[in-house]
Structure 1
């Protein structure tokens, strides 16, 4: 076991330790520039998905809005509450500025990777689709890169499907025990029952659950932050000034100054919004849309919601309170956020935060479970394997809930996610010209006055597309 931990520790050092974050940043900047700031160009269109207009869609298929809510439910988690607090503690208020910057470039990365997931998605013969990096590697790069798709799928399964679900189970049980005194055993059993009911219904039931959970958790948490801002409105200019000045080292709140702010902000932003990691495209591929770029735009919006909105809420709750102390190393991020909320609203708010953490964690569990399932589907078509994986994941969630120390067994999760990201970035770089062809097709139709562009596979006959997935008969008009 010690040798395995050492091995995965080396992988973690080679990826997250020093190379992957700069690569993700450079890659995001590259895609932003080479795409002509596509995330800004289509920013207004991002909000169209909130209308939920599905009148021209197959009623049995997953809508763009449903896929958005599932991905937001997965992206938004404990890191938006605890992780942001730690980033501010170690990097100062300036970390928030760099979170915003990485979200801006990450929106372009998310748009490109999710557009590709849509291009190469596959129909299951009815009204459902599967896809993601494993598929755009196989179908986009060709059979000779099939081994790369398998590596990707194994890493996705190990990190999100198994490891991160154990940690989320631990988060839920710990929060309930701390706030309400409920034993971990009971929380673990309840979590298994709820998760099992959702995930055994497949992606459609996961989407229905997300349709209820995500708006409640997001709007509830945003409302708390807005109320805190209103109560401290005169302090907002000072906080914004601290964020900008600290970001550029003019006001060094912590040791390391500007360097610490950049490092902490970029790390937290990337971990939170997952742009470029290759996880969100698995969900993006499930939606029935008229054009791949439509879902790319929607998933870009997901990054905006996660980092620009939710992470900023935590930041303002902390920076407008009177609890935060610069350079207070070693503080628990959840504790800092909780104490800051209490300083604004009183003791009742800690229970509201616990409820938010529960929703964040549960939505992440069902999201991670689907990612694991999609990874298994990329390895084998056996339905029995999928069912077996679901049962195994429920067991892992329970184990993480009742035996918190057991999560140490999943030391491989972060290193495997590092490999996952590297594989995805390699594929994205190779397929970037294809993605831009599809984006340019979308742009051309808009210039020609087409309000809702439609993807015509006949215009891309050189691509290995699933024609059934792009059958225009699915649309009523």
Structure 2
């Protein structure tokens, strides 16, 4: 076990320690500036996906709205409750500011990577679509880069299907033990059985489940957080100032000062919103849309919902309470969030949060499984190994639930996520000119008065696209 810890620590140091954080910030900033601040230009348009018109009547296709809900369900998980608490404990209140910063930049990265996943998606015999960064690397950069796509796919399985699913199981079990006194083993068994019921149904069952679970959990959690903020409205300005002051080292809450806030805020922020990791594009590619940029805008919106809304709610619950003590680590992870909520509204809140955590974690498990299935499909060019993956994910959820703490799980998932992010960002850097051409095409159509731009593969003959994946394209004689 010590050998594995040494290896994971080394990989973690080589990625998160000095290379990845600056890479993420520099590349995200470059994408933002070079694209003309596209995430802000299209911000109002992001809300269009919530309308009825964004759905499809074809039972074989995933609508833009369904893809949004699945991706939000994946982004909004234990990281929004336990992850934010870990960031604040290790980095102080200032970590919240850097979570916001990486989200605003990450909105552009999410738009770019999802646009590329859409343009290189492929139709399946069942009439659905499959795609993602691995396919974008093959069809966008060429088959000589298959080795890069393979590294990406392996890391996607290791970090999401294995590491992050273990973390979700750990989060639910910890909350149930703290609030209900339920042993971790029984929670793990229950969660594993619920996971089995969904993962054996594929992406359509996942999308249908997300359509019900995500709105309920998001609205319920937001309502509770708003109640806490209203009850502590007079303390809100001081908390906001504390976040900013700690972020820039004007006030040191934990050892390491600004450096600790920056490092933990960026790391946990990325863990939560996944922008630039190349995970959400696998779901984005399944959506039926008229133009690749449309789904890019939708996925940018999901980053906003995840960090600027949900993570901020968790941060306010913690920082407006009196359970969190700067520099102390006696209460950590989901327990800190849970006890903070109880201090605001009473003991009944721990049962509410346990239910919310279950829904958050369960939606993430569904999403993480699908990412693993997509990666496996790419590696074996078919459905080989899917049964083994399903059984493996169920076992991982159970094992994660009985693990003693979140920190041990992060020690495995962080290095895998680091490699995944590096590979994905390298690919994005090389494919960015293609994304820029698509954004330009989308803007041109809007300028010409086209309310809903349509992608025409014939207009991009140099790209290795699948014409059957774009049924709305103009027919040419």
1:172 Cα deviation (Å)? 2.3
Moved more, 392-401 or 316-325: 392-401
Moved more, 309-318 or 325-334: 325-334
1:474 Cα deviation (Å)? 11
Query: 2:54·2:63 contact (CA, 8 Å) conserved in 1?
Result: yes
Moved more, 176-185 or 318-327: 176-185
Moved more, 365-374 or 380-389: 380-389
1:330 Cα deviation (Å)? 5.0
**Partners of 1:452 and 1:172 in 2: CA distance:** 41
Query: 1:58·1:474 contact (CA, 8 Å) conserved in 2?
Result: no
Alignment of 1:44-63 (within 5 A): 44-54=44-54, 58-63=58-63
1:12 Cα deviation (Å)? 1.7
**Partners of 2:469 and 2:82 in 1: CA distance:** 40
1:407 Cα deviation (Å)? 11
The residue number in structure 2 matching 1:414 is 414
Moved more, 245-254 or 67-76: 245-254
Moved more, 435-444 or 84-93: 84-93
Query: 1:210·1:363 contact (CA, 8 Å) conserved in 2?
Result: yes
Moved more, 261-270 or 351-360: 261-270
1:184 Cα deviation (Å)? 3.6
**Relative to 1, partners in 2 of residues 1:406 and 1:20: Cα closer, same or farther, differing over 3 Å?**
closer
The residue number in structure 2 matching 1:133 is 133
Matched, 1:177 2:158: no
**Partners of 1:387 and 1:254 in 2: CA distance:** 46
Query: 1:322·1:340 contact (CA, 8 Å) conserved in 2?
Result: yes
**Relative to 1, partners in 2 of residues 1:331 and 1:445: Cα closer, same or farther, differing over 3 Å?**
same
**Partners of 2:298 and 2:409 in 1: CA distance:** 36
SS at match of 2:135: helix
Give the superposed CA RMSD: 2.3
The superposition leaves residues 407-461 of structure 1 with CA deviations (integer Å, 9 ceiling, x where unpaired) of 9699643322221111111100000000000010000000000000010101111
**Relative to 1, partners in 2 of residues 1:5 and 1:254: Cα closer, same or farther, differing over 3 Å?**
closer
The superposition leaves residues 284-323 of structure 1 with CA deviations (integer Å, 9 ceiling, x where unpaired) of 1110001000100000001101100011001111222222
The residue number in structure 2 matching 1:206 is 206
**Relative to 1, partners in 2 of residues 1:20 and 1:84: Cα closer, same or farther, differing over 3 Å?**
same
**TM-score under structure 1 normalisation?**
0.94
The residue number in structure 2 matching 1:273 is 273
**Relative to 1, partners in 2 of residues 1:232 and 1:267: Cα closer, same or farther, differing over 3 Å?**
same
**Relative to 1, partners in 2 of residues 1:74 and 1:55: Cα closer, same or farther, differing over 3 Å?**
closer
**Partners of 2:400 and 2:102 in 1: CA distance:** 31
**Relative to 1, partners in 2 of residues 1:384 and 1:99: Cα closer, same or farther, differing over 3 Å?**
closer
Moved more, 168-177 or 127-136: 168-177
1:402 Cα deviation (Å)? 4.7
Alignment of 1:71-470 (within 5 A): 71-329=71-329, 331-402=331-402, 412-470=412-470
The residue number in structure 2 matching 1:14 is 14
Query: 2:89·2:332 contact (CA, 8 Å) conserved in 1?
Result: no
1:92 Cα deviation (Å)? 2.8
Moved more, 50-59 or 417-426: 50-59
**Relative to 1, partners in 2 of residues 1:333 and 1:191: Cα closer, same or farther, differing over 3 Å?**
closer
**Partners of 2:474 and 2:362 in 1: CA distance:** 33
**Partners of 1:269 and 1:400 in 2: CA distance:** 22
**Relative to 1, partners in 2 of residues 1:24 and 1:403: Cα closer, same or farther, differing over 3 Å?**
closer
**Partners of 2:412 and 2:238 in 1: CA distance:** 42
Query: 1:86·1:331 contact (CA, 8 Å) conserved in 2?
Result: no
**Partners of 2:230 and 2:144 in 1: CA distance:** 58
1:3 Cα deviation (Å)? 3.6
**Relative to 1, partners in 2 of residues 1:12 and 1:262: Cα closer, same or farther, differing over 3 Å?**
closer
Moved more, 399-408 or 328-337: 399-408
**TM-score under structure 2 normalisation?**
0.94
What 5-or-longer segments of structure 1 have no aligned partner? none
Query: 1:166·1:400 contact (CA, 8 Å) conserved in 2?
Result: yes
**Partners of 2:251 and 2:304 in 1: CA distance:** 27
Query: 1:28·1:109 contact (CA, 8 Å) conserved in 2?
Result: yes
1:324 Cα deviation (Å)? 2.5
What 5-or-longer segments of structure 2 have no aligned partner? none
1:406 Cα deviation (Å)? 12
**Relative to 1, partners in 2 of residues 1:407 and 1:371: Cα closer, same or farther, differing over 3 Å?**
farther
